[in-house]
Structure 1
């Protein structure tokens, strides 16, 4: 023990214990990392040395041989199973998809089956210690293969790989009984902010817990949304509103529960979140305005999915209502994302707000020698001959004026499918009028001009006029 010399006492010297310096938290973390590293090195050395024992080498050779047998079985049975799958024409798609996934994993499936059969046989005919390494290999293969099949349920490729690799790492640590050492190592790599401890372990726990809760919220939201959309008693706009509110509720609960489960106290972030909220309020005025406008649109039902609208030069039908924008698809296949605020503050023509009936007008003119009574009758019959023109709302034709060279008319007719287009139906009615007028000798006048060329002498002025 460290000490110091005391000269104040006569007749000799004495030593007194020196007070030890306080240990820094960073030094403790370094000591933990060193201890965990040494423990892992010792276990790795023991595992490496055990691999060179006679029976362990036999077990490794057996595992390699079984993998080769599984490869041969895949080459033999794979084409036959594929041909059998091709003959299942009447099976549902979900069964075919399961068979496809199984067919792609035939080699590891055969390998796992052969491993466990060998392990069970060796346990019956030999000592359990002589199949210990094969049991570990079989457990690894089975768990990894199970994780592959389970993660196939995740649709997102990135999320599927993330969950798969994370599950493989955890399963490996669990089988090797290294979970405690891994937790200690991850927890030592961190720092503290006040009473909150931030470390890699907390980050991993947050990713796992929040991922599970958000995935569960997504499943609940999807199932709830499908039920709401199947309910015909709820209008489309209210369906969208209920679905959006359900998503906000489920995801909000999942996030709050995940943060509380991790152990983060949100009360300390109240002041900071308030300041951030003020800053976001100024910076995201348009975003908030679009969000509020979206809620107003859903509540007042001014537009809904399937409505045909015109906004400025954009004409199309509403494909979906989003939290920030409305998706409008035009006849030429373009999809416009119109901010919700524009639908609230601008003038919008909703062609199918209360019903789907739309009236269209066509202007034309005929010569003065044609009877207006015959022209009106022929025009109405021509409009009725077009398929999309409604017969229940009979077309009408009126004289609207006497022009310089023609009698002017207006032809009005109704349709009930504005999503089918307006220009094409006008064109079809014009073609029907052309055919009907040609058949009944109705002429369509056009401006005519006469050009008279004068003699050159006539352009010269008389001599007396110049005097």
Structure 2
């Protein structure tokens, strides 16, 4: 314990001596002049930023029709305008100093300030490629601290100091430096994996030669492979022994198999759905009382959007084990049946002809597939018919096209004098009945 404490104090003393040495190197003649120039660059950058920001905002409002990614990068540059201007002014001042005093050395304070400011600016801008906010902050601050220590000449000393802060369990030694490296390296690798997966997903999604289900499956496998590789490469890069992790992952896998059966079942069902192509994005399905089209296929669930805007997240297992009606599995053609009745006094041949013509008058009804109308029976009050027609866009809804055809039938029947009967009952009161007597008594009263 005393040895570790002495080593930690020795590392801290080394860092402090390095800082004192760098300060002595910076405190050369004209140091006050350099500090004044740096403060002047800060003030000038602040003044110019306040003058440019309103004009920059006005110019950006005129670009509202541009792609979102271009506007996003313009906003990033606008938010870091003052830092970028300070780096520009500081480097300009460095060039002037180099021309006058001939000291293009990073030992000088103004050169160090210009270099660190430029590094900060490019790190903050480049970090925006990371979409996750927390991960972006980790990468941004990690690279900022690293660049600052590197250009200040303190990197080796600080690394030795952090390496002295460790937790030991037998042969295992975990240092604070290793933890920071793991977080930074893994964050960078995850950002790169996310960027690669998004680019690959866009390219695969635009490839019409691949079926929609295979596109989703390829993207899912690619994401799993990239993120897994980023995780393990990040651990290996900081010297973590993956042998123990293999044993631990096996134990975790057994525990997941018992405790997360439903989750695993949904994951496996999702892979099966993607492989057998039973459903795919854009298909119109009905499952129980849910009718809609598939918006997306997830690893655990399928997103189904109904006509009223509701989005149902149906577990993949329900689609494998339950009865699903896929209205557009092999093709988009859907037949719709309508039932109606007419009076016995109407000519059935005319009714059938008028009904078929009325169906064809609706725009969504296909004329390439023949519509038919048949008598299904003689009811108590009407002759019963069935009208069958075809559509090819079930995603646009079924109720609305049925309503349009019913309305066309109403108009056509009125035009041809065909009546739609409703149940009627005739009641005859026979003389001498109790009801008739009661009625006579009431009239007599």
**2:6 aligns to what?**
31
Q: Give the conservation status (yes or no) of the 8 Å contact 1:317–1:328.
A: yes
Partner Cα distance (2:394, 2:277) in 1: 19
Partner Cα distance (1:93, 1:244) in 2: 25
- Change in Cα spacing, 1:323 to 1:90, as seen in structure 2 (3 Å) is closer
CA displacement, residues 420-443 of structure 1 (integer Å, 9 cap, x when unaligned): 001111111111111111111111
Pick from 66, 70, 74: which aligns with 2:49?
74
Partner Cα distance (2:243, 2:60) in 1: 58
Map residues 84-95 of structure 1 onto 2, 5 A cutoff: none
- Give the CA deviation at 1:89: 8.5
- Give the CA deviation at 1:120: 2.1
Residue 438 (structure 2) pairs with residue 456 (structure 1): yes
- Give the CA deviation at 1:322: 1.4
**1:63 aligns to what?**
38
Unaligned runs of 5+ in 1: 1-25, 461-467
* Larger deviation, residues 152-161 vs 122-131: 122-131
Partner Cα distance (2:66, 2:339) in 1: 58
**2:267 aligns to what?**
291
- Change in Cα spacing, 1:233 to 1:95, as seen in structure 2 (3 Å) is closer
Q: Give the conservation status (yes or no) of the 8 Å contact 2:18–2:157.
A: no
Partner Cα distance (2:439, 2:232) in 1: 101
- Give the CA deviation at 1:98: 4.4
Pick from 338, 351, 371: which aligns with 2:327?
351
- Give the CA deviation at 1:245: 2.0
Q: Give the conservation status (yes or no) of the 8 Å contact 2:83–2:121.
A: yes
- Change in Cα spacing, 1:264 to 1:376, as seen in structure 2 (3 Å) is same
Residue 353 (structure 2) pairs with residue 401 (structure 1): no
**1:386 aligns to what?**
362
- Give the CA deviation at 1:208: 2.1
**2:432 aligns to what?**
none
Let me know the Cα RMSD of the aligned residues.
2.9
- Give the CA deviation at 1:402: 0.7
**2:226 aligns to what?**
250
Partner Cα distance (1:408, 1:69) in 2: 88
Secondary structure at 1:152 match in 2: helix
Partner Cα distance (1:223, 1:345) in 2: 35
* Larger deviation, residues 171-180 vs 322-331: 171-180
Secondary structure at 2:129 match in 1: coil
Pick from 82, 85, 102: which aligns with 2:77?
102
- Give the CA deviation at 1:295: 1.5
- Give the CA deviation at 1:457: 6.8
CA displacement, residues 138-194 of structure 1 (integer Å, 9 cap, x when unaligned): 122111112122112223333222211111111111122222232223223222234
Partner Cα distance (1:84, 1:339) in 2: 48
- Give the CA deviation at 1:87: 6.4
Q: Give the conservation status (yes or no) of the 8 Å contact 2:358–2:405.
A: yes
Q: Give the conservation status (yes or no) of the 8 Å contact 1:56–1:130.
A: no
Higher relative contact order (CA 8 A, sep 6+): 2
Pick from 321, 326, 340: which aligns with 2:316?
340
Residue 59 (structure 2) pairs with residue 112 (structure 1): no
- Give the CA deviation at 1:347: 0.6
- Change in Cα spacing, 1:250 to 1:50, as seen in structure 2 (3 Å) is closer
Unaligned runs of 5+ in 2: 430-434
Instruction: Give the TM-score, by structure 2 length.
Output: 0.88
Map residues 48-447 of structure 1 onto 2, 5 A cutoff: 55-80=30-55, 97-126=72-101, 128=103, 132-447=108-423
Secondary structure at 2:375 match in 1: strand
- Change in Cα spacing, 1:179 to 1:123, as seen in structure 2 (3 Å) is same
Partner Cα distance (2:168, 2:107) in 1: 47
**1:18 aligns to what?**
none
CA displacement, residues 247-268 of structure 1 (integer Å, 9 cap, x when unaligned): 2223333333332222222223
Bigger Rg, structure 1 or 2:
1
Instruction: Give the TM-score, by structure 1 length.
Output: 0.84
Q: Give the conservation status (yes or no) of the 8 Å contact 2:204–2:215.
A: yes
Secondary structure at 2:370 match in 1: coil
Partner Cα distance (1:361, 1:130) in 2: 84
Q: Give the conservation status (yes or no) of the 8 Å contact 1:122–1:131.
A: no
Partner Cα distance (2:376, 2:254) in 1: 61
Q: Give the conservation status (yes or no) of the 8 Å contact 1:401–1:409.
A: yes
Partner Cα distance (1:92, 1:315) in 2: 35
CA displacement, residues 7-50 of structure 1 (integer Å, 9 cap, x when unaligned): xxxxxxxxxxxxxxxxxxx3333222222333444555677789
- Change in Cα spacing, 1:86 to 1:430, as seen in structure 2 (3 Å) is closer
Aligned length: 435
Secondary structure at 1:363 match in 2: strand
- Change in Cα spacing, 1:123 to 1:51, as seen in structure 2 (3 Å) is closer
- Give the CA deviation at 1:54: 7.6
